[in-house]
Amino acid sequence: MSTDITVIRDPDRLRYVAVDGERRVAGFIDYQESSAMLALTHTEVDPAFEGRGVGSALARAALDDIRERGLKARVICPFITGWLRHHSEYRDLLDDAAPSKASE
């Protein structure tokens, strides 16, 4: 099921990166940042890590970081939009203008 994954924010590359215990990149979320908001634009998981919870770990870590930093999230990425449908505990982070169906 889940792999030993650590997610780090790489502000130089504007991405959250998931790495395994051997420091191999398992996936990432690209984002754009403004003073009050992060737009989550794209999620990608390496095929070798699919089905192991990497996408969920990335989504949770990114949204937890956004919350800790007092920012809002604009979700453009279809994966995260779908993930949010099952994780209502993060809906308070969504920017009202976000083109997301997560609040439905």
Question: Is the residue at 33 inside a domain?
Answer: yes
pLDDT tier at 47, thresholds 50, 70, 90: very high
Q: What is the tally of structural domains in the chain? A: 1
Q: What's the pTM value of the predicted model, to 2 decimals? A: 0.87
Residue 86 domain boundaries:
5-93
Question: Is the residue at 29 inside a domain?
Answer: yes
In sign, the C-alpha dihedral spanning 67, 36, 54, 5 is negative
CA distance 52 to 73: 25
More confident residue, 2 or 36: 36
Question: Is the residue at 99 inside a domain?
Answer: no
Which neighbouring-strand residues pair with 31? 40
For 34-90, give the DSSP string.
Answer: -SSEEEEEEEEE-GGGTTTTHHHHHHHHHHHHHHHTT-EEEE--HHHHHHHTT-GGG
pLDDT tier at 95, thresholds 50, 70, 90: confident
Cβ atoms within 10 Å of 44's Cβ, excluding its own? 18
Q: Whole-number mean pLDDT of the chain?
A: 91
The CATH number covering residue 50 comes to 3.40.630.30
